[in-house]
Amino acid sequence: MNNQQEIEKRKTFAIISHPDAGKTTLTEKLLLFGGAIQTAGAVKSNKIKKHATSDFMEIERQRGISVATSVMTFEYEGFLINLLDTPGHKDFAEDTYRTLTAVDSVVLVIDSVNGVEEQTRRLMEVCRMRDTPVIVFINKMDRDGKNRFDLLEEIEKELNIALHPMTWPINSGKDFKGVYNITNNNLLLFTAGTKADDEDVLQIDDLSSTIIDQKIGERDAAQLREDVELIEGVHGNLIIEDYLTGKVAPVFFGSAVNNFGVQEMLNTFIHIAPTPRSRATSTGSVAPDDANFSGFIFKIHANLDPRHRDRIAFLRVCSGKFERSKYYHHVRLNKAIRFNNPYSFLARSKDVIEDAYPGDVVGLFDTGNFKIGDTLTEGANFYFLGIPTFSPEIFKELVNKDPMKAKQLEKGIQQLTDEGVAQLFTQFGGTKKIIGCVGELQFEVIQYRLLQEYGAAVEFRSLPFYKACWLTSTNAKKLEDFLRFKQQNTAEDKDGHPVYLAQSEWFLNTEINNNPDIIFHFSSEIHK
């Protein structure tokens, strides 16, 4: 198989959802279809207990497993599907944001009862920034959910994306009878507790067919005809290009736990979801079929066992072919580097691989060479764009409890921030170190790891900030003055870029209004 054929085979995506909407269940069903797992429950048992708010040791205990399940690769209908896992716990949302930079599309799971939830909103914002193609799976149709038209309207409004129903449900909750596939004109009948099989799919010529009345009753058949007519009138046919540019999201209804409506979605997914696409770099775009290899690091997993300090860096291949034991150019360090034991995350075992193609994710053993966003090439000096850092939500001052260990602390904090566990800011005009995270749990992880891995004892003091904004200005003097006058609220990030730390939305808006020459950015490209 040549490179082009390898590229066209690959679909690299992530499933995203608010916790509890059904991401793990859906993942599992997809893996069952792909033959990557044999029994239900295999993914579930790896799942981090999402309700444990301070039980991060549990999370760490499971890390060994979660590395293995970070990328699940399976074949389906001749396609090679890379499903990148995202952490369920909201405190690790930043990890999810970064994983989204490595995928070509996403499937968004929405709970039909709860509709759009907090985490759904935030994850979609990240997808919208990159115009990532989205397929929506409305889950838990076996429960009494919201009115489906209201639900679609809510999703469109709240997530700022047009929807295109591909299937349409017949009732919900205990009256749920199945879904009608608008594109294929077939009816998939639902029986609670049993897996839908081929016999439950009724091919019908058109909606006026009396078979529908016989199967679901006259009243529901009439409602279905009315609904579908309305939907077809409003939406027409799906324009694939609108999906690929992130403007329109095809929608499927189903029940993951009953394995219902999942295959419908998968069958459409493999045909419309994008294969690896060109990516923006600092010197122009790089196409997957470019002869030269390139890729970037989007995630780093530390080994928590202090006897094994190695880390695993996750490389997304973007162009060319990655080969084992070949020297590549580490752009930031300007150094040649090779990997003798790169491994793939093929289901069930971690295998050393000889080569990998665009869309693939390779695990590289790292002894401290990498940080998130690093680019590897065959010699070219560019880096991939679109790997931003977002503002943390909780800020705390880092207090060293053992001055004798200042050096170890410095090293530890540098490495942990390289891994993307937290963000580090240093207050202007002082040496106060500020750690920013998305969730409380991360502070516990940092405290624990600094002590265990670096022997540095620290504590955290809460700070009253709620958001960090990166500052730029064409007027250097104005920016300098601002940083001087607002010393209490300004800092530099790890790379020396100025940041404004806002106490509240009101303060932030006031500063934005008072300083028209300064631009307040809500995310930062890791490399600028």
Cβ closer to ligand G4P: 22 or 133? 22
**CB of 366 closer than 8 Å to CB of 312:** yes
Three-state DSSP class for 421?
Answer: coil
Closest by alpha carbon to 365, among 416, 309, 421? 309
Candidates 3, 9, 19, 478; binder of ligand G4P (CB under 6 A) is 19
Task: Provide the minimum distance between the beta carbon of 111 and ligand G4P in the complex, in angstroms, as a whole number.
Answer: 8
By rule CB under 6 A, what count of residues binds ligand G4P? 19
**CB of 163 closer than 8 Å to CB of 135:** no
Candidates 34, 87, 88, 115; binder of ligand G4P (CB under 6 A) is 88
Three-state DSSP class for 15?
Answer: strand
Taking CB under 6 A as the rule, does residue 21 contact ligand G4P? yes
Closest by alpha carbon to 34, among 194, 258, 269, 252? 269
- Site stretch for ligand G4P (CB under 6 A), options 13-21, 60-68, 123-131, 334-342: 13-21
- Tokens representing 284 are 């122009």
Taking CB under 6 A as the rule, does residue 96 contact ligand G4P? no
Between CA 168 and CA 249 the distance in angstroms is 15
Candidates 10, 11, 23, 279; binder of ligand G4P (CB under 6 A) is 23
Candidates 11, 29, 140, 371; binder of ligand G4P (CB under 6 A) is 140
- Rg over CA atoms, the chain: 25
Binding letters toward ligand G4P, positions 402-431, x by CB under 6 A: ------------------------------
Candidates 8, 20, 156, 355; binder of ligand G4P (CB under 6 A) is 20
Cβ closer to ligand G4P: 88 or 250? 88
Cβ closer to ligand G4P: 140 or 215? 140
Cβ closer to ligand G4P: 24 or 167? 24
Taking CB under 6 A as the rule, does residue 22 contact ligand G4P? yes
Taking CB under 6 A as the rule, does residue 120 contact ligand G4P? no
> What one-character-per-residue DSSP string does 289-316 give?
T-SS-EEEEEEEEE---TT---EEEEEE
Three-state DSSP class for 312?
Answer: strand
**CB of 421 closer than 8 Å to CB of 442:** yes
Taking CB under 6 A as the rule, does residue 25 contact ligand G4P? yes
- Site stretch for ligand G4P (CB under 6 A), options 61-69, 72-80, 117-125, 134-142: 134-142
Between CA 107 and CA 393 the distance in angstroms is 26
> What one-character-per-residue DSSP string does 458-500 give?
EEEEE----EEEEEEES-HHHHHHHHHHTGGGEEEETTS-EEE
Binding letters toward ligand G4P, positions 373-392, x by CB under 6 A: --------------------
Task: Provide the minimum distance between the beta carbon of 57 and ligand G4P in the complex, in angstroms, as a whole number.
Answer: 20
Identify the residue whose tokens are 């979605």. 265
**CB of 350 closer than 8 Å to CB of 68:** yes
- Tokens representing 372 are 């998130």
Cβ closer to ligand G4P: 96 or 408? 96
Binding region for ligand G4P (CB under 6 A):
17, 19-25, 44, 50, 88, 139-140, 142-143, 255-258
